[in-house]
Amino acid sequence: MEQAPLDPERRLQPAPLEPLGLPDAGLESVVGEEAEGPRDEGPGDGTMTENNFWLKKIEISVSEAEKRTGRNAMNMQETYTAYLIETRSVEHIDGQSVLTDSLWRRYSEFELLRNYLLVYYPHIVVPPLPEKRAEFVWHKLSADNMDPDFVERRRIGLENFLLRVASHPILCRDKIFYLFLTQEGNWKETVNETGFQLKADSRLKALNATFRVKNPDKRFTELKHYSDELQSVISHLLRVRARVADRLYGVYKVHGNYGRVFSEWSAIEKEMGDGLQSAGHHMDVYASSIDDILEDEEHYADQLKEYLFYAEALRAVCRKHELMQYDLEMAAQDLASKKQQCEELATGTVRTFSLKGMTTKLFGQETPEQREARIKVLEEQINEGEQQLKSKNQEGREFVKNAWADIERFKEQKNHDLKEALISYAVMQISMCKKGIQVWTNAKECFSKM
Amino acid sequence: MSGGPPKALPSTGPHSLRDMPHPLAGSSSEEAVGGDSTPSPDLLTARSFGDKDLILPNGSTPAGPASPASSSSLLNRLQLDDDIDGETRDLFVTVDDPKKHVCTMETYITYRITTKSTRVEFDLPEYSVRRRYQDFDWLRNKLEESQPTHLIPPLPEKFVVKGVVDRFSEEFVETRRKALDKFLKRITDHPVLSFNEHFNVFLTAKDLNAHKKQGMALLTRVGESVKHVTGGYKLRSRPLEFAAIGEYLDTFALKLGTIDRIAQRIIKEEIEYLVELREYGPVYSTWSALEGELAEPLEGVSACIGNCSTALEELTEDMTEDFLPVLREYILYSDSMKSVLKKRDQVQAEYEAKLEAVALRKEERPKVPADVEKCQDRMECFNADLKADMERWQNSKRQDFRQLLMGMADKNIQYYEKCLMAWESIIPLLQEKQEAK
């Protein structure tokens, strides 16, 4: 079983007071549109039933999106989209679901939630949000955030995010997450009151640690490389896929021109006319079929994007480890140096450079009483330092253990999800081929009647 | 070639069997073959058919000038297919075996022309000669000169228009060979053109250049006279049926031009799609190298996309080699047909002008002078030949386009079938549960 991190500050929820049900493995995503397949199986379905401590099961859905206008922080009018989040609790006995909560949230609030989770669960691979701006678009797709197709895909992405958090054995118990689903007003203030922004590690500190750490856990180093490469390869894949989609669109649409010219030609022909005319109609059908085909493919792209962003989450965990490890190394170094100093003072040899040594040379030796005092201070510091080092070590080990457990969980999830994504992609291609065969067979038959 | 009075031309007007001389009867003494052959009432064995070969689905024959057709011949023609029954066909021509010749001055390709015939015009039952494009061009010019009242099939384009296409590449040579083969076959199928002396020489002469130099000008009487019709006569109005043909050809050529452009555009888009696919597939391979459990599935997808890319490449090649050239041929065909129509207009204009001139000379006895009669004959022959050829052309055009478009549909079906197979075969691989970790 995975444990919550040791830091007492982090534990905000007052034990299981408001139990958050663990979502059923076969979670139905109650979507406004047709149910989206890939999410139904849910991440971690195998492990959930084992860890099911809660009596109630819940269903979460982001069922609607609405355009709103309001005033922003600078009192300027802005347009944004709000999303309706509905939570249903499923009665254990008869499977009926009852709507328990319903509120509206905008994208920025989701971001806030995630940033909070990143700070308080640095050992967890935190599920990513759908992209803020449309990227990897091919020309027909709009890059406009207000475009209804983009909004729809984002709605699905946000729902997916909530489902992933809710099905995570640790994250699902978080109080702020619970409040996100249940407390519309004042939630932002509640989150900010946790002061999590202050606790966040500075990027600069993290970068520094990455470069200077001497002995990180090998597994994390490997994982870091993996996540970098994964990001790179999926980005490349998405870019090329967008271009492929663009070209494919062109091929299909140009065939539509046959429809018109066959029709015009058929007008001057006697026996050939009918065959040409009806074949032309099939060419029109062919040309218009590409729109649905490519729309389906966008879902595949979204599944890849999720893992592109997951790579960043992996990276974040590695960074945290590096930071902690660096911190530990610095503390150990500091302790060693203090011990050294102490020894030197005690024995009278000056091997290390110190300001005191410098001033001593300049202004004269200090008195034995002064020296004693300094030794005493140092010994206290050393003591403290040893305590700190011990707990840092402990923390570090806990972190590595817990993080690695979540990483293993993540790997399983990733392999499962991506396989499903590839299968559904293959199924899409098969469907496209079958449609193509159908249309051209129909056209061939019309030609044969010419 | 058929000499004698214009009325004796096989493709004109209704005549009884007895009146129809053998196509080669009474021909000029320059005829190298046959010499005096008695008019045979049964023309059907001696020549291959054009317009009488086709029985349309509703049972009627094409509405052309009613040449005498024996019932046996009609019975033989039960399918719409233009493939002439082996029994009555007596001339077979094939173009194959292209070879490159490298000489000091130039490099060029020759093709082997194989002829098999039982016709008396041919000394031997079989011939095999080598010809180059120039020779075909010569033949076509000669045919146009000597048979101005008939529609001469087009040759593939002389020069390669599109930039850097290799004249000696396998694909180009093969495309050209097919076009040249079609050219000769169309002539072979023509009841008049197939008996043309120049055609015979082309098929049989060992040294064609020697013949070219001789400048044999064996023209029909009509041909001879038509050739000398000078321009300068303005036609008042085309008769309805020829106007209709003219309009048809104009629109037809226009539509074909559009289809050609569309087809080219499709090929261009498909090639660009192919370029992207060729980058897309390998990325899955790169990804596969990073993964453990997903390695095989990803590699499988990469291979699959590779197979689809290959299938697409084949499709674009097929379309370029088989589809576009035929379209272009028909555009050239309709262009040459339009100029034949214009020549016909000239002949009619001359006749009408002469007729008018006679009408104005009031002192003449109301007898039509001989030269005006000759003009009238010329015009009527031309009209008849042209109408017959148009019928013939319409039918083979229908066959050709039916085949062409069905072929296009077929190629696309095959492409999708290849892709379908690739993706279906990968599903089990993707669904495989990895037991060993």
Read off the pLDDT of residues B112-129 as tens digits, 9 standing for 90 and up.
999 999 998 888 999 999
CB B145 within 8 A of CB B227: yes
Hey, is the C-beta of B410 within 8 angstroms of any chain A C-beta?
yes
Residue A57 tokens read as 């099961």
Tell me the three state secondary structure of residue B149: coil
Model confidence pLDDT, tens digit, residues B130-155: 999 999 999 999 999 899 889 999 99
Residues of A with Cβ-Cβ distance to B306 under 8 angstroms: none
Residues of B with Cβ-Cβ distance to A279 under 8 angstroms: 405
Which pLDDT score is estimated for A365? Answer: 67
Which pLDDT score is estimated for B222? Answer: 52
Nearest alpha carbon to residue B267 among B403, B408, B163: B408
Instruction: Indicate yes or no: CB of B255 within 8 angstroms of CB of A447.
Output: no
Hey, is the C-beta of B100 within 8 angstroms of any chain A C-beta?
no
Chain position carrying tokens 């559904």: A424
Task: Say yes or no to pLDDT of B165 above 90.
Answer: no
Chain position carrying tokens 């669960």: A121
Residues of B with Cβ-Cβ distance to A226 under 8 angstroms: 290
| Residue B295: band (very low, low, confident or very high) from pLDDT cuts 50, 70, 90 | very high
**Enclosing H/E stretch for B155:** none
- Calculate how close chain B gets to A244, using CA atoms only, in Å: 6
Residues of B with Cβ-Cβ distance to A236 under 8 angstroms: 283, 286
In angstroms, the first-to-last Cα distance of chain A is: 73
Distance between CA atoms of residues A66 and A311, nearest Å: 31
Residues of A with Cβ-Cβ distance to B420 under 8 angstroms: 430, 433-434, 437
Residue B435 tokens read as 């037991």
Average pLDDT of the residues in B338-354: 88
Question: How many CA atoms are closer than 13 Å to the CA of A9, on its beta-carbon side?
Answer: 8
Nearest alpha carbon to residue B100 among B24, B3, B177, B165: B177
Instruction: Supply the DSSP symbol for A102.
Output: E
By DSSP bridging, strand B91-102 and strand B107-117 are: antiparallel
Task: Say yes or no to pLDDT of B75 above 60.
Answer: no
Where do the structural domains in chain B lie, given as residue ranges? Answer: 89-213, 237-431
Q: In the structure, how many helices (H) and strands (E) does chain A have?
A: 12, 3
Whether this model's ipTM surpasses 0.85 comes out as: no
Q: How far is CA B378 from CA B12, B239, B317, in A?
A: 12, 16, 48
Distance between CA atoms of residues A169 and A171, nearest Å: 6
Residue A209 makes CB contacts below 8 A (sequence gap 6+) with A319, A322, A323, A325, A326, A327
Instruction: Supply the DSSP symbol for A194.
Output: T
| Residue B431: band (very low, low, confident or very high) from pLDDT cuts 50, 70, 90 | confident
CATH topology of domain B237-431: Substrate Binding Domain Of Dnak; Chain:A; Domain 2 (1.20.1270)
| Residue B227: band (very low, low, confident or very high) from pLDDT cuts 50, 70, 90 | low
Hey, is the C-beta of B425 within 8 angstroms of any chain A C-beta?
no
Nearest alpha carbon to residue A249 among A153, A149, A137, A133: A137
Which pLDDT score is estimated for B399? Answer: 93
| Beta-carbon contacts below 8 Å between A and B | 134
Which pLDDT score is estimated for A353? Answer: 66
Nearest alpha carbon to residue A191 among A172, A203, A175: A175
CB A328 within 8 A of CB A396: yes
E strand intervals along A388-437: none
Which pLDDT score is estimated for A363? Answer: 65
CB A420 within 8 A of CB A38: yes
Model confidence pLDDT, tens digit, residues B40-67: 344 333 333 344 444 444 444 444 444 4
Residue B337 makes CB contacts below 8 A (sequence gap 6+) with B151, B249, B393
Distance between CA atoms of residues A123 and A125, nearest Å: 7
> How would DSSP label each residue in B71-121?
HHHHHH--SS-----TTT--EEEEEEEEEEEE-SS-EEEEEEEEEEE--TT
- Calculate how close chain A gets to B313, using CA atoms only, in Å: 14
Indicate the CATH number for domain B89-213.
3.30.1520.10
CB-nearest partner of A422 from B279, B297, B409: B297
| Residue B8: band (very low, low, confident or very high) from pLDDT cuts 50, 70, 90 | very low
Which pLDDT score is estimated for B116? Answer: 93
Hey, is the C-beta of B233 within 8 angstroms of any chain A C-beta?
no
User: Residue B133: exposed, middle, or buried by beta-carbon count in 10 A (0-12, 13-18, 19+)?
Assistant: middle
Instruction: Indicate yes or no: CB of A444 within 8 angstroms of CB of B410.
Output: yes
3-class SS string, B172-187: HHHHHHHHHHHHHHHH
Which pLDDT score is estimated for A58? Answer: 76
> How would DSSP label each residue in A23-92?
PPTT-----SSSPPHHHHT-TTHHHHTTT---S-EEEEEEEEEEEEEEE-TTS-EEEEEEEEEEEEEEPT
Hey, is the C-beta of B243 within 8 angstroms of any chain A C-beta?
no
Average pLDDT of the residues in B309-331: 93
Longest dimension (CA), chain A: 122
What average pLDDT is seen over chain B?
Answer: 78
| Residue B232: band (very low, low, confident or very high) from pLDDT cuts 50, 70, 90 | low
Distance between CA atoms of residues B42 and B13, nearest Å: 17
Nearest alpha carbon to residue B294 among A207, A414, A42: A414
Which pLDDT score is estimated for A140? Answer: 66
Instruction: Indicate yes or no: CB of A236 within 8 angstroms of CB of B286.
Output: yes
3-class SS string, B12-69: CCCCCHHHCCCCCCCCCCCCCCCCCCCCCCCHHHCCCCCHHHCCCCCCCCCCCCCCCC
Distance between CA atoms of residues B146 and B216, nearest Å: 10
Chain position carrying tokens 């061009």: B137
Residue B109 makes CB contacts below 8 A (sequence gap 6+) with B98, B99, B100, B101, B132, B133, B167, B168, B173, B176
Domains of chain A: 28-200 (3.30.1520.10), 245-351+365-448 (1.20.1270)
- Calculate how close chain B gets to A221, using CA atoms only, in Å: 15
- Calculate helix-pair angle for A218-266, A273-347, nearest 10 degrees: 160
What percent of chain B is modeled with pLDDT above 90? Answer: 48
Burial B337-351 (b: 16+ CB within 10 A, else e): beebbebbbbbbbbb
CB-nearest partner of B416 from A265, A418, A433: A433
Model confidence pLDDT, tens digit, residues B184-217: 999 999 999 999 999 999 999 988 888 777 655 5
**Enclosing H/E stretch for B211:** helix B208-214
Task: Say yes or no to pLDDT of B249 above 50.
Answer: yes
CB A426 within 8 A of CB B301: yes
Of chain B residues 283-302, which have a CB less than 8 A from chain A?
283-284, 286-287, 290, 293-294, 297-298, 301
Residues of A with Cβ-Cβ distance to B423 under 8 angstroms: 426, 429-430, 433
Instruction: Indicate yes or no: CB of B290 within 8 angstroms of CB of A443.
Output: no
Which pLDDT score is estimated for A59? Answer: 80
Which pLDDT score is estimated for A311? Answer: 95
Q: Which candidate in A231, A235, A241, A258 is best for mutational testing of the B interface (most B CBs within 10 A)?
A: A258
* A202 φ, ψ (degrees, to nearest 5): -75, 145
Which pLDDT score is estimated for A222? Answer: 94
Instruction: Indicate yes or no: CB of B420 within 8 angstroms of CB of A430.
Output: yes
Q: CA A97, A103, A104, A108: dihedral to nearest 10 degrees? A: -100
More confident of the two residues B338 and A4: B338
**Enclosing H/E stretch for B148:** none
Residue A420 makes CB contacts below 8 A (sequence gap 6+) with A38, A41
More confident of the two residues A144 and B257: B257
Q: How far is CA B177 from CA A404, B112, B158, B271, in A?
A: 69, 10, 13, 25
Sequence-ordered alpha helix ranges (H) in B289-323? 295-318
Mean pLDDT split into 10-residue runs, chain A, 450 residues: 40 32 35 34 36 55 83 82 88 73 91 94 94 78 74 91 92 91 88 87 86 90 95 96 95 95 94 93 96 92 95 94 93 90 76 66 71 85 90 93 95 95 96 97 95
Distance between CA atoms of residues A420 and B362, nearest Å: 98
